[in-house]
A and B are shown apart, each in its own frame.
Chain A
Amino acid sequence: MNDLLLIRKNLFRKKLRAILMLFSILIAFLIFGVLAGFERAFNAGEDVAAADRLMVVNKINFTQPLPIAYVNRVRAIGGVRQVTHFNWFGGYYQEPKNFLIVMAVEPESYMQVYQDQIDVAADARQAFIRERTGVLVGEAMLKKWGWKVGDRVPIMSNIFTQKNGSRTWDFTIVGAIVARKPNIDTNFMVLQYEYFNETQNLGRDLIGWMALNTSSPSQNDRVAKAIDQMFANSLYETSTDTEKAFNKAFAAQLGNIALIVALVVGAAFATILMIVGNTMVMAVRERTREIGVLKTLGFSGGRIVRLILGEAVLLAILGGLPGIALAALFAAAMETSVGNFIPGFAVTPGIALNAILLMLGFGLATGLIPAITGMRLKIATALGRS
């Protein structure tokens, strides 16, 4: 009779009890998987940020504008490889609740600066540069609204109106934006800055912010300082930061998601630690006589420890793996519906690996006390107890 068989037999001796423990472990790992996936998606902006990219925003706040003339002045600074600029359009489709991420960009420089993140087919590139009312739409947005390349889509803005008084812009989708990495969000649309600047009614020749690539990440600090110094004491002062720091600060504006996730996961694990830990102690106590018999048969203390720890770890893995699998299924099902809010919601291999480590740790933690009890048990006391 090998140890694994013994472990399995012990674990399922009381079927109902084993199933209840497995279920509570499954729940804890389901919660872990879902929340870890959620948190990762939430912080995706930080992960996908390019090391050599800087963001230049108005020093007052990134919602304040900058003059378009700044773009050429920044381009001339040593160490700046490419620079492009954005305007927030405040877009929505049909109804205000159908909020869309829409930005006005300078087509060529935009596709250059972001070529590490996005891929646009050659003919779509040309069309976007050429056609004034053309827009590029991310794959995720196309899928969400069921749009196809070639469609005409009426997009409204809650900030701008056209000079003719209309609040609706009719755009033609000239191409799709494809993500180059899996956790890059493509739920957005870009339109031509020139067309936007000519047709909208509020403040001409202003931009929202700039994004640039430096010749190397080691130049980041120097370039950032040079930019901010160049515009110091002007009407529009700038604040330049790495894309990573910018994205991180933006995510932090929503709240301390990491703390909330840690607290909820902590509560879920404290629950099963109590339930499973106590049940294991009880299960081993019920088996006192048997352990005495095993020891009489020549089982060493170490082997008893292995048996009991093995049982606890097996329990954790049998409950945890389906829990994580369920979390992955849930994330896959939710990604499309929550996509607008948390793109890239998925249980990644990294999360799954962490979960497996947690299962091992959890198994050892719940098995430790009963294992030590079992190891120390004297044959005489064990057989004497009834």
Chain B
Amino acid sequence: MRPFFLQVAAVTLINLKSIPQRFWLSLSTVVAVALVVVVLLSFLAMANGFQHTLTSSGADDLAIILRGGSQAEINSTVSREQVRLIEEGPGIARGSDGKPLVSAELYLVVDGLKRSSQTKANLPLRGIGKDGATVRKGIKIVEGRMFNPGANEIVVGRALLREFQGLEIGQTVAFATSRWTVVGVFEANGSVFESEIWADLPVVQSLFNRNNIFQTVRVRLQSAAALEALQRFVEADPRLKLDVKSEAAYFAEQASQTSDLIHKLGWPLSITMALGALAGALNTMYSSVAARAVEIATLRAIGFGGTPAFVGTLVESLVLAALGGIIGTIATSLVFDGFSASTLGASFTQVVFSFTLSPALIGQAVLLALAVGLAGGLLPAVRAARMPIVAGLSSS
């Protein structure tokens, strides 16, 4: 067996060493595979980044309560009486003052100016009460301060600041006739809340003519398991025609719609491109076999079997594809990883997110690259293994 492996190793080495002789053609295969990987990884990183932003927004032990059938915060309305009834519900965690941690909120859409396109885009303005920041975990003011109750002041999410202009600290923003001052920037673990503007609930209610109207209620639960009790409580009361979900489930639903769509565009595009790259790889490998016809035939004549020629050609193809895969991955991580973008989310407002690569995604892309290498090497390798000695030796 040992001589066999030596044969295979020797021929493979000859194959690899001869790549520089077909430098440009081999390079075109590498580049073609690299570009396929870049396209696939960019789409996957886009979908992953969007999903990551939305799923990190939701907590299991936070319930979101919407009007029945409204699906998104923007469509929902909840009355003051309903908020009072919810506060008496079971399983609700209590704050240091002993009161239930319940945040009734208003969710409005206002115009912002997108930096990249200089066009108006929908931004969410969330009116929150004193418990708004405490029911959520991980809210941090990183610049400036929180708005003061009763003042026309707003704080903006860190991600929003990146994509939209005119919201820096100290700037004044006009929403119709009301003027607001930006007093702080907050972080929220990279969640969708970082794409929002927050202000004091009563001020928003009065300046937007929505007195005594709320849109959603967020409730901190004693534990994730307490959700069911609250759901049963709401269902049992005919005055509460409301949907109760965990915030995690609410955002996961929204995330899957958009990231499914990106996957549905990205995969077929990449596979189509991979077919084009495959044609290139086949072309390169057939040329390689043709160029080494004399060499392969000579080896056969001195007693080498067909298998080393087969393996050598296949390995050459796989190495070129792997090289393309690696270059594509590095290029994507340099250019697109962390790339900031925004799109319209399920609540009809902009969601700012960053392209996010992950080892799993890179694994998928490298597999696609190797599949191109395998398919592109197989037939030429068979031809190399079966080449008649006489034809090979007389080929030039």
Contact = CB atoms under 8 A, between A and B. Distances in A.
Nearest to B344: A253
Nearest to A237: B176
Interface string B336-380: 000001111000101000000000000000000000000000000
B75 A159 contact: yes
B249 interface: no
Contact of B122 (A233, A253, A281): A253
A166 to B, nearest CB: 11
B75 A271 contact: no
B119 A249 contact: yes
Interface stretch (A2-10, A24-32, A207-215, A345-353): A24-32
Interface stretch (B27-35, B187-195, B308-316): B27-35
**Chain A interface: which size bin?**
35 or more
B273 A271 contact: yes
A271 B69 contact: no
B80 interface: no
Interface stretch (A100-108, A138-146, A216-224, A272-280): A272-280
Given A253-B344, A256-B117, A159 B177 contact: no
A275 B273 contact: no
Given A61-B109, A235-B209, A248-B119, A27 B24 contact: no
**Chain B interface: which size bin?**
35 or more
Given A202-B77, A254-B344, A267-B38, A282 B176 contact: no
A40 B51 CA distance: 27
B287 interface: yes
B85 interface: no
A270 B31 contact: yes
A357 interface: no
Interface string A227-265: 000000111110100000000110011111000000110
Contacts of A275: 28-29, 32, 276, 279-280, 283
B279 A235 contact: no
Interface string B45-57: 0000000000000
B283 A27 contact: no
Contact of B176 (A96, A236, A274): A236
Find the residue from B77, B272, B276, B286 having the highest chain A CB count within 10 A. B276
A20 B109 CA distance: 53
Contacts of B276: 23-24, 27-28, 268, 271-272, 275
B234 interface: no
B344 to A, nearest CB: 5
A64 interface: yes
A252 B283 contact: no
Interface of B: 24-25, 27-29, 31-32, 35-36, 38-39, 42, 68-72, 74-75, 77, 108-111, 114, 116-117, 119-122, 175-177, 208-209, 269, 272-273, 275-277, 279-280, 282-283, 286-287, 341-344, 348, 350
Interface of A: 16-17, 20-21, 23-24, 27-28, 30-31, 58-61, 63-64, 90, 96, 156, 158-159, 167, 202, 233-237, 239, 248-249, 252-256, 263-264, 267-268, 270-272, 274-275, 277-279, 281-282
Given A233-B177, A268-B35, 4 more contacts: A21-B283, A59-B111, A255-B342, A271-B276
